[in-house]
Structure 1
C-alpha cells in the first residue's frame, strides 16, 4: 500500500492531480466532524485509508473538491480519482491549504487548535470557529501549519512554552502518513466493480450512478430528464420514481439493451440514449399505470421490490406518441409473473441474473414470441401468513397488502369501499389493524400466540378501529351492518371470526389466504 504525507496530498490536489469524479455525491461533512478528524490524526487514532483510481484519461466531467474549484491537471501526469475517502481528502485539504479560493457560496469553517483544551482521550482538542469567535492566544489556526510565512506570523509573540506545544502539534501533522490504495487501470468495468464494492449498501446497482456520470453527464442532462418524468408522475403518487436514479437507469438500460447490468449501461451510446429516451419514458409511464390499475400500487413504496418496475417498463416501451397495448393473455402472464416474483421474493438475491431473465422473457412476450415469463418454481403455504409479522417496510407485508387490496376491502362499520388510493398512498400503519384485537387476546389469555402475524391483519381505518376498540369480535359484531357477507368476503374471513377463538380463526384465514395467493400465482 502506498502512502501520502499531508503536504503531498495538498500539493497534488492543488495541481489538479487528485480529483473527485462526477459520480461521487459531493462533500457532506459538517465542520464539527472535520474537527474530529483533525483530533484523530493528532492523537494518532486510525482514520482509514484512501482509495484512488489512477488513469491517464481525464474524465470529461468531474466535481469540485467541496468548496474549492480545482485547476486542470498537467497533461503529462496521470490523474488520481477518489473512489473512497472523498470526505477525508476534502477535509484535510480544506483545513490546511492556503492557495485556492473558496466558492462564493461556501460555508467552510476554519479549524483551530484549542490551546486551553485538556488533552483527554475522548474530548477533541480541535474546534471549528467563525472568524468573530477566534481568541488569539487560545485558538491556533491549522491553516498556517504548512505555510511557513503564515506559521511564523501566527506564533509571533506567543510564550515559549505555547510555541513549543504548537511546534509539537505541527510536527505530528507533518509526519502523518495517509495510507492509499491505488488501482491503476484504464478498464472502466474494473473501476465500476471496485466502486460498487466499496460503496455498496445492499443495492447491487449503485454502480449505475457512476456509469451515468461518465456515459452522459451534463452533456445529456439525464437528471433533468428524470426530474421532468417525476413531475409527470407526481399526480399519480409516483414522484419518487424520478428520485430513484438507480431504478430509472435500470429501466433505461433494460429498454435499450435488454440488460440492466452495469456493463450494458456502460456500453450505451449517448446519442442513442438521447434519440430513444422517449421510449424509455413511455415504458416507465405506461408501466406505472399498469401497476396502479392492476395491483392498486399507489406509490413506489407499495411495491415489494421497486425492481419489478423494470421488466414491466420493458413490456410497455413504445416510441413517440404510440399508445402501449396488451392482450388478455399477455396480462395474465404478466400478472402471474408479478405475484410469483412478490411471494417468492425473487429480487432479494441473484438480482442481476433474475432480472436479465425476466427482461428477456418480458420482451419476448411483448413481441408476440414464445415466453417463459414467470415459469419458475416456488412454494407458498399457510406459514407465509402465520409465520410472517406485519411491518410496513418489509416485502412480505407489502405483498400481503396488495393481495388484500385485490379483494376490494370495505369498511367493517359502514360497508363502504375503502379508498385504496388514499390508504395505500399514505403507506402507514394506521389504516391496518388486528381483526382479533390485542387487548382482547391478552384478557382471554390467548396472547400466547403471535397477534401481529399477517393472518390477523386487515384493512381497517383508524376511525373504525377506535369505534370497535379492543373488544372481542363477538362484541364488535353488534356495531357492524346486519348483512356482512361483503365485508367478510373482502377481508377473506368467515363468521368464524366471531367465535372469539384466535387459533381456529388464524388457521382458517391462513388457509383461505393461501388459496387466493395460489390463484394469483396461477399455481396448479
Structure 2
C-alpha cells in the first residue's frame, strides 16, 4: 500500500503521468457526492484506496479525467492508469486544480466549506452550490486551498477568527493522503483480470470496454467505425453516442446475438460484427431519430437511461436497401415502454437482465407478434417529486425534465413557446428555476434543501427568472403576460395555488399534477 498527497495528485495529472484507460466508464458522480467526499476527507473518514496500473506503454485509447482533457506526458515517467478509484481521484483533482478548463462548455461543481454548519458527525459541512446560492459571508471556496494567491484573496473577506477556522480546514487537506495500491506490469492479461475482479460488483459494461480495447483490436477496428458513426450523428446532437463504446458494443451484441451481456460479445468474432455493422448503424440511427421525434431528446445526456437505445436499436435495425416502417400501434408501445422505463428506474439495477427481456420483446414487436415490451410495472407517487432534489446530472431530474418538455412549456414572461431544442441541446441549470424563489422562501424560514425539490422547479430561462426576481409568486405574477397566465401554468404543469404563496400546499398540488401527467404518458 502506498499513498499520495492531494498536491502530488494534481501535479501528476498536470505532467500527464496519471491517466484513465478507455475501458473505464466515464465520470458519473453528482455534485453532492463530490461534496460528501470532501467532508469525509475533512473528518478523517475512510474513503477507499485507488488501484493504479504502472506501465511504460501509453495506451492508444484513453478517457478524459471527468470533463478535463489530460495533457500529454511531459517526461519519460512510468504512466499510472487508474483501474479503480477514478470517481474519487477525479473529484479531488477537479475540486482543487486551477490550471485546466473543462472541455466543450462543461462545468465542474464548485464546492464550499460552510462556516455556519455545525460540526456534526453525520451532516456534511461542505456544499456544492450554484453562483446564485453562495453567501460570501459564510461559504468559502475550497478550490483555493492549493493556490496561494487565490487563497490569500479569498480569506481577506473574513474576520481573523473565521480565517483561523478556514486555515485549520485547509491544513487538513494539505496533509491528507490518498491510499493507493500499485500494480507494476506490462502484462495486459494480468491487468484485465485485476480490472474485471475489482469491478465484478460494479457495472457489468466495464468489461465490454476491455473487449473493445484489446480482444478485437487486431481483427476489427471497432473504434474507427464508432468514430465514423459519431461524425454521422454529430449534426443531430448525438455525436457522443459514437464515442460511447460501451453503449455501441451493447447495440452490436443485441442486434447480432439478441443479448447485450459481456459473455455474448466474447463468443462473437469481430468479423461477425463487421459483416452486420451497416445493420447496427441503421438501428442506432433509427433509435436516435425515434427519441428525438417522440420525446424531444436532443442529445444523449437528455436520456435518463442511455441503455434504452439498445432495444430500440434492435427494433430499428435493418440492412442496406431495406427500411423499417413503424405502425401507430408499434409507436405507442415504444413510447409507453420508454416512459415506464424512466419512471420505474428500470435500468438502475438488473441492467443486463432487463435488457435481455426488452430486446426479446422488441424483436416480437418488430415482427408483428404479441409483445409485452410496455408491460413494465411502475408505481409513481407524489414523493418522487417531493423528495428528490433537482440536479441536471441526476436520472430522476432528467425524467422530470422530459415530462416538462412533453407539456410544451411557455415563457413565464411573454407566454411564447420555449425553444426546446436550444434548452435541451445546452441542458444546463440556467434554464430551470424555482417556482417559489429561494429568496422568498428564505424569508419564510424554508431552507435551500426543501426549496430545491423537483416539484418546485419549472423550465424558466435565466432571462425570465431575472425579470420575475426573487419575489413571492403573488408579486411576480404582475410581470407575466396577463392574458396567458393560465396557459403558462398549464404548460408548466403548475397549479394556480402557486400564487397563494403557501409553500407546502403548493408543493403537494404540483406533485400530484406531475404524477397525473406522467401517468397519462405511461397509460
By the TM > 0.5 criterion, same fold?
yes
Q: Distance in 1 between matches of 2:209 and 2:221?
A: 13
Determine the structure 1 residue equivalent to 2:506: 505
Deviation for aligned residue 1:406: 0.3
Determine the structure 2 residue equivalent to 1:221: 221
Residue aligned with 1:87, SS: strand
2:53 touches 2:184 (CA, 8 Å); kept in 1? no
Q: Distance in 1 between matches of 2:204 and 2:371?
A: 26
Deviation for aligned residue 1:33: 9.2
Q: Distance in 2 between matches of 1:206 and 1:300?
A: 19
Residue aligned with 1:88, SS: strand
Q: Distance in 2 between matches of 1:30 and 1:410?
A: 45
Greater CA deviation, 243-252 or 448-457? 448-457
1:193 touches 1:207 (CA, 8 Å); kept in 2? no
The answer to whether residue 482 in structure 2 is matched with residue 516 in structure 1 is no
The answer to whether residue 76 in structure 2 is matched with residue 109 in structure 1 is yes
Deviation for aligned residue 1:324: 2.4
Deviation for aligned residue 1:214: 4.9
Q: Distance in 2 between matches of 1:336 and 1:492?
A: 20
The answer to whether residue 259 in structure 2 is matched with residue 292 in structure 1 is no
Residue aligned with 2:489, SS: helix
Q: TM-score, with normalisation over the residues of structure 2?
A: 0.64
The answer to whether residue 326 in structure 2 is matched with residue 326 in structure 1 is yes
How big is each residue's C-alpha offset from its partner over 1:173-217, in whole Å with a ceiling of 9 and x where there is no partner?
A: xxxxx9999x9xxxx9x9977642335694311111222245531
Determine the structure 2 residue equivalent to 1:315: 315
Residue aligned with 1:361, SS: helix
Determine the structure 1 residue equivalent to 2:53: 87
2:438 touches 2:448 (CA, 8 Å); kept in 1? no
Evaluate the alpha carbon distance shift between residue 367 and residue 420 of structure 1 in structure 2; reply closer, same or farther with a 3 A threshold: same
Greater CA deviation, 218-227 or 407-416? 218-227
Q: Which runs of 5+ in 1 are unaligned?
A: 1-27, 37-83, 92-104, 112-177
Determine the structure 1 residue equivalent to 2:169: none
2:361 touches 2:373 (CA, 8 Å); kept in 1? yes
Q: Distance in 1 between matches of 2:191 and 2:55?
A: 19
Determine the structure 2 residue equivalent to 1:385: 385
Deviation for aligned residue 1:308: 1.2
Determine the structure 2 residue equivalent to 1:136: none
Residue aligned with 2:482, SS: coil
Q: Distance in 2 between matches of 1:368 and 1:192?
A: 42
Deviation for aligned residue 1:29: 6.6
Determine the structure 1 residue equivalent to 2:438: 438
How big is each residue's C-alpha offset from its partner over 1:58-107, in whole Å with a ceiling of 9 and x where there is no partner?
A: xxxxxxxxxxxxxxxxxxxxxxxxxx98732439xxxxxxxxxxxxx985
Deviation for aligned residue 1:378: 2.7
Q: Distance in 2 between matches of 1:295 and 1:30?
A: 40
Q: Distance in 2 between matches of 1:324 and 1:90?
A: 49
Q: Distance in 2 between matches of 1:106 and 1:493?
A: 53
The answer to whether residue 367 in structure 2 is matched with residue 400 in structure 1 is no
Deviation for aligned residue 1:361: 0.8
Q: Distance in 2 between matches of 1:454 and 1:31?
A: 38
The answer to whether residue 264 in structure 2 is matched with residue 264 in structure 1 is yes
Q: Distance in 2 between matches of 1:415 and 1:298?
A: 23
1:192 touches 1:211 (CA, 8 Å); kept in 2? no
Q: Distance in 1 between matches of 2:505 and 2:337?
A: 32
Q: Distance in 1 between matches of 2:459 and 2:303?
A: 17
Residue aligned with 2:298, SS: coil
Residue aligned with 2:271, SS: helix
Count, aligned residues: 364
Q: Distance in 1 between matches of 2:346 and 2:461?
A: 31
Q: Where does 1:85-234 land on structure 2 (aligned, <5 Å)?
A: 87-90=53-56, 108-109=75-76, 195-199=195-199, 202-234=202-234
Evaluate the alpha carbon distance shift between residue 458 and residue 202 of structure 1 in structure 2; reply closer, same or farther with a 3 A threshold: farther
Determine the structure 1 residue equivalent to 2:283: 283
Q: TM-score, with normalisation over the residues of structure 1?
A: 0.64
1:258 touches 1:359 (CA, 8 Å); kept in 2? yes
Q: Distance in 2 between matches of 1:369 and 1:418?
A: 40
Deviation for aligned residue 1:471: 0.9
Evaluate the alpha carbon distance shift between residue 107 and residue 495 of structure 1 in structure 2; reply closer, same or farther with a 3 A threshold: closer
Evaluate the alpha carbon distance shift between residue 195 and residue 491 of structure 1 in structure 2; reply closer, same or farther with a 3 A threshold: same
Residue aligned with 1:220, SS: coil
Residue aligned with 1:204, SS: coil
